[in-house]
Amino acid sequence: MGVAIVGAAVDTAGVARRARPIVGAAVGLGAVAIGLGGLTGGAGGGRAESNRPQTTGANVLMGAHLFVQFACSACHGMQGRGGVSPYVPRLKQIGKALTVAQLTSIIKHGLGESANPKRPYMPVWGPVISTSQVADLVAYIRAGLPPVRDATPVPVPRAQGAAVAGSALYVRYGCINCHGPNALGGVPNPQSPDKTIPPLSGQDFRKQFNTDAKITEVIRSGSVIGKAPIASMPHWGGIIPRRDLKALVAYLKTLK
């Protein structure tokens, strides 16, 4: 039933590298036990069983995939290691410090959101994520965010033009979860004035966002349209580098 946890991880820059041993991470984590063998085995002193696949609970494995799908990793770093922005905390230790109820509440309702954000805040995910998905994310965080095979962001082709890169980045940064495939919108946001998250395509969008600068600006600044449980546009300034912003804009301009 279990799926292997692998020692190789891909960081946000897409560079494959060896995960460092997570010393002690498997100790005292309650119901979910994660073998260290699959996480170690670096130069020299790998333990005998280090190549044997380790198993863990299905909810932790799903949580690892959701952590990438919802681009938690884009802000908090792969496996919650941090290092992306000084304003986004690493999550490695948090599983021990916060209760299930606290983590659930933070993921559903966000944290630090303000009407005029100058820096990234923890988005409100409630409307776009199921109770079961939140539970899996919480299980993953409480398990110490181990690397899990294939729970890695989609690769970004960099030599095939900005729009191609942008189409991958649209998935990699999780825009697709809120704005839908092909940026068609329609994802329910029941408490918001429009009741749905807006499309990034179509005539109305093009009319209002008729320059690259306007599109770039709203991605960088975000746009808070109300308190939780309303989902707002996250602030991506300091998270998404300039060339990725350009690529996202180039991609959006190819859409209907």
Residues that bind ligand HEC (CB under 6 A): 70-72, 74-76, 87-89, 91, 94, 103, 106-107, 111-112, 120-123, 125, 128, 137, 141, 173-175, 177-179, 189, 197-198, 200, 205, 209, 215, 218-219, 223, 225, 231-234, 236, 239, 248
Residue type, 75: C
Nearest-CB residue to ligand HEC? Answer: 112
**Shortest gap between Cβ of 250 and ligand HEC (angstroms)?**
11
**Shortest gap between Cβ of 86 and ligand HEC (angstroms)?**
10
Which is nearer to ligand HEC, 49 or 204 (by Cβ)? 204
Angle at 69 between CA 80 and CA 158, to 5 degrees: 95
Instruction: Report the Cα 69 to chain-centroid distance in Å.
Output: 6
Helix (H, G, I), strand (E, B) or coil at 16: strand
Long-range contacts of 240-243 (CB under 8 A, 24+ apart): 240/74, 240/169, 240/173
Cis peptide bond prior to 199, omega within 30° of 0: no
**DSSP code at position 143:** T
**Shortest gap between Cβ of 141 and ligand HEC (angstroms)?**
6
**Shortest gap between Cβ of 67 and ligand HEC (angstroms)?**
6
Which is nearer to ligand HEC, 81 or 179 (by Cβ)? 179
Give the separation between CA 14 and CA 79, rounded to whole angstroms: 14
Which is nearer to ligand HEC, 36 or 168 (by Cβ)? 168
Which is nearer to ligand HEC, 36 or 248 (by Cβ)? 248
Which is nearer to ligand HEC, 38 or 117 (by Cβ)? 117
DSSP string, 196-252: BPPPSSHHHHHHHS-SHHHHHHHHHH-B--SSTTS--BPP-TTTS-HHHHHHHHHHH
**Shortest gap between Cβ of 37 and ligand HEC (angstroms)?**
27
